[in-house]
Amino acid sequence: MQKPKTTNQSASSKTQERKKFSLSFLFFLSSLFFDLCTIIIIIGLCCLRGFFISLCLSLSLPARACV
């Protein structure tokens, strides 16, 4: 009678470990994705700022208006 209980307990503990691992893996992937999005947004903003500054200078506006 006790042997099936131990196998059931070990199987349930394995599934719980898998769930914990999958949750931690999903959390890792989401944090990595968030970091990548943040880096891309920062680079994009820097490029946009440089583009606007060059556009201002090409329109021969004063440099103070560009920055």
From the first residue on, what is the mean pLDDT of each consecutive set of 10 residues in the chain (67 residues)? 54 79 88 91 88 79 60
Check if the beta carbon of residue 21 is closer than 8 Å to that of residue 30.
Answer: no
Q: Please give the Cα distance from 56 to 45 (Å, whole number).
A: 16
Domain boundaries, given as residue ranges, for the chain: 2-66
User: Could you tell me which residues come within 8 angstroms of residue 23 by beta carbon, excluding any fewer than 6 positions away?
Assistant: none
- Quote the pTM value: 0.49
Which amino acid is located at 62 in the chain? P
